[in-house]
Structure 1
Amino acid sequence: MMEHDPLGDILNSAPPAITAAESASLLHRHWGLTGQLDGLASERDLNWRVTTPEGLFVLKLANAAEDPEITRFQNLALQHIAQRDPGLPVPRVVPTQAGAGDVLLPTGSVVRLLTWLEGRPMHLAPRGPGLRRSMGATAARLTRALEGFSHPAADHVLQWDIKQASRLRLLLPAIAEPALRDLCARWLDLFDNRLAPLLQGLPWQVVHADLNPHNVLTDSVDHARIAGVLDFGDMVFTPRICDLAVAASYLVDQDNALESLDEIASAWADVLPLLPAERDVLPGLTAIRMVTTIALASHRAQLYPGNAPYILRNLPSARAGLLALPQPDEAL
């Protein structure tokens, strides 16, 4: 780990080293289920798709470096969403045979079981106005459903959180392309000098914070309809506009960047009205999420070359989107 690395232990720790057989044993012991386990890609955790006679599930083993309360924070948030907006397509927590929401292992990993959501990963769906509007509306519903939810772990520090962008500077040397590295540095200058001072005056709440195309499912027939939202592992208390910026950063049309950004924002505003100040900072925060994706992916791919294809999966679109948006000196 580099000195003073802002990623901390979580993003610099390898996923749990637990075999499929060991995971199957945990599944049977605590949930009374048996079935086939197939590995799922994950940045820092160990996830299994579980096929059983009772149905499909996801067995999740959290990174041992993560505070168990963060996993419980996620479970409680899913329960809160289910109560506030039962129609939102999010996983449901499956309790253990003892009625608990999770199991803490001696290794420090927390194990839990969630329901499986069917759908086509959004990164495989054709992009267009319909998908952007659907994503904007779904993201707003999700943020609205999380209104009023609080938990002590919501204040944890995670580098993916847009408000932490200033700490990305130490990771910029990992960006191989000099021009892109310079552009990212200029955006961070804008964040420090113009955007960050405005955040405190905006509405804050717990948000999903990672609506990337690998965490969103679309309908297998109607590719413009959102069928599922996955992976609540990056939830954090932050300005709510950051959640829209995250979602938008992956759907910006490279040929019509600002117009496509407005499509997403307008669909969001139909569900959850935006303040003028939130609209003003949205383009800049969208760019900052792209910078975050580029910097973190570049750095972590160096740390874990064996997992580089997964880690770098969103970097090309982030690069293209950043180049399509106005330059930093034109953003505000």
Structure 2
Amino acid sequence: MPLENVFAEACLLEAAPARVSEAQVHEALRQHYAISGKLERLGGERDLNFRVILADGSSRLFKLSHPLENPDVVDFHNQAMRQIERHDPALPVQRVYPSLSGGFVESVEIEGQRMLVRLLSFVDGLPLHRVACTCEAFRQNLGQALARFDLALSGFSHPAAGHVLLWDMQHAQRLRPLLDYIEPGLRRDRVEHSLDRFEEQVLASAPTLRQQVIHNDMNPHNIIVDPEHPDVLRNILDFGDMVRAPLVNEVAVAASYQLGVSGDVLAPALDMIRAYHRVNPLLGEELELLPVLISTRLALSLCINFWRADLHPDNRAYILRNAHRAQESLAGLSLVSPAHIHDRILAACTQEVGA
């Protein structure tokens, strides 16, 4: 079912990825950044991404935005990265580099496709999704880093910060047409129930919540850890889903990816939530809504990813990379009442340090 009437951004997600050759990428790098190196194609939802391995062994990320991407949104991402670099330079976050002209984005035309290109930092390490099981120390480190991330962006504004984004939970209720892409049965019922609870318990409160620019996509593919010491966070990537939204949504998104898939699914996420709260305390109303928001994020992910996998079967494996985990986590949460989840989150956030 087309979604043009739901979000303009749906057109971008529905469109096939742009196509460029390695020779064309090399030419853009030479022309705008005066660098060359071995190229390694990386995955991406909307953009084309290439790791550039330089002669000295270091690497950069070369990103070509989709031809339909809004230039103001690209500038929003760049300015957010620069804001964090100024306000918390020690935070391990992706950086954007200037081109030969001194700008942080350049426009290129390849076979009639007008695209924006950027050169970003690339930190070697292990993507978190390749770590079989995270430890408590890592989850605490992640919570602290995410809290610092949000504190660095506190007060940051940009004309494109309020752009309408499909991955923004503020609009979750408008994703109901995508339920048709999830096979009928218990799994779809859980997703639909999560959307029901969002409408009933969150929608009316959302305008009164604290809002700011947030990362909005702290999933395991956007987190790099030390291969020898996977409790050490080395880098936070991908600002592509940034948006101005309720601050608590940031924690809900991150927590949804730290849930377990069996047994006590909530326990791992509590480590991250507790660590975030100690650095950037959440308010009572935010803590109260967190259980529903975590379920909402899982529901949103499943709706969007099954829809996009149907649209782009050649990219199905990448699109559905987190779907199984989301389904199992949502199933585990459905066995526990939101009130009990809230009680456990509150207990974790009021726990004494070292207890």
Same fold (TM over 0.5): yes
Equivalent residue for 2:82, pick from 79, 84, 89: 79
Matched, 1:161 2:178: no
Whether contact under 8 Å (1:14, 1:63) holds in the other structure is no
Matched, 1:137 2:144: yes
By how many angstroms is 1:127 displaced?
2.2
Q: 2:98 maps to which residue?
A: 95
Deviates more, 1:85-94 or 1:254-263: 254-263
Equivalent residue for 1:152, pick from 137, 140, 159: 159
Q: Runs of 5+ in structure 1 lacking a partner?
A: none
Q: After superposition, give the CA deviation of every residue in 1:224-263 in whole Å (9 maximum; x if it has no partner).
A: 1211100000000000111111111011123223333322
Equivalent residue for 2:62, pick from 48, 59, 67: 59
Structure 1 pair 298/8, CA: closer, same or farther in 2 (3 Å)? same
By how many angstroms is 1:327 displaced?
5.3
Q: 2:283 maps to which residue?
A: 275
Equivalent residue for 1:240, pick from 225, 247, 252: 247
Q: TM-score with structure 1 length normalisation?
A: 0.96
Equivalent residue for 2:11, pick from 9, 12, 21: 9
By how many angstroms is 1:177 displaced?
4.6
Matched, 1:114 2:117: no
Whether contact under 8 Å (1:215, 1:230) holds in the other structure is yes
Whether contact under 8 Å (1:241, 1:278) holds in the other structure is yes
Whether contact under 8 Å (2:43, 2:49) holds in the other structure is yes
Q: Distance in 1 between matches of 2:101 and 2:166?
A: 35
Q: 1:123 maps to which residue?
A: 129
By how many angstroms is 1:147 displaced?
0.8
Q: Runs of 5+ in structure 2 lacking a partner?
A: 343-355
Q: Which amino acid aligns with 1:64?
A: P
- Say which SS state the counterpart of residue 255 (structure 1) adopts: coil
Q: Distance in 2 between matches of 1:262 and 1:34?
A: 44
Equivalent residue for 2:35, pick from 33, 36, 46: 33
Identity rate of aligned residues, in percent? 36
Structure 1 pair 163/97, CA: closer, same or farther in 2 (3 Å)? same
Q: After superposition, give the CA deviation of every residue in 1:187-217 in whole Å (9 maximum; x if it has no partner).
A: 1111111111122221100000010000011
By how many angstroms is 1:294 displaced?
0.7
Matched, 1:46 2:48: yes
Q: Distance in 1 between matches of 2:269 and 2:124?
A: 28
Deviates more, 1:152-161 or 1:49-58: 49-58
Whether contact under 8 Å (1:78, 1:91) holds in the other structure is yes
- Say which SS state the counterpart of residue 58 (structure 1) adopts: strand
Q: 1:312 maps to which residue?
A: 320
Q: After superposition, give the CA deviation of every residue in 1:10-37 in whole Å (9 maximum; x if it has no partner).
A: 2112222111110110000110111111
- Say which SS state the counterpart of residue 291 (structure 2) adopts: helix
Q: Distance in 1 between matches of 2:332 and 2:42?
A: 32
Whether contact under 8 Å (1:94, 1:115) holds in the other structure is yes
By how many angstroms is 1:117 displaced?
1.3
Whether contact under 8 Å (1:297, 1:312) holds in the other structure is yes
By how many angstroms is 1:156 displaced?
0.8
By how many angstroms is 1:293 displaced?
1.0
By how many angstroms is 1:284 displaced?
0.9
- Say which SS state the counterpart of residue 38 (structure 1) adopts: strand
Q: Cα RMSD (Å) of the superposition?
A: 1.6
Q: After superposition, give the CA deviation of every residue in 1:252-275 in whole Å (9 maximum; x if it has no partner).
A: 123223333322211001110111
Q: Distance in 2 between matches of 1:272 and 1:47?
A: 33
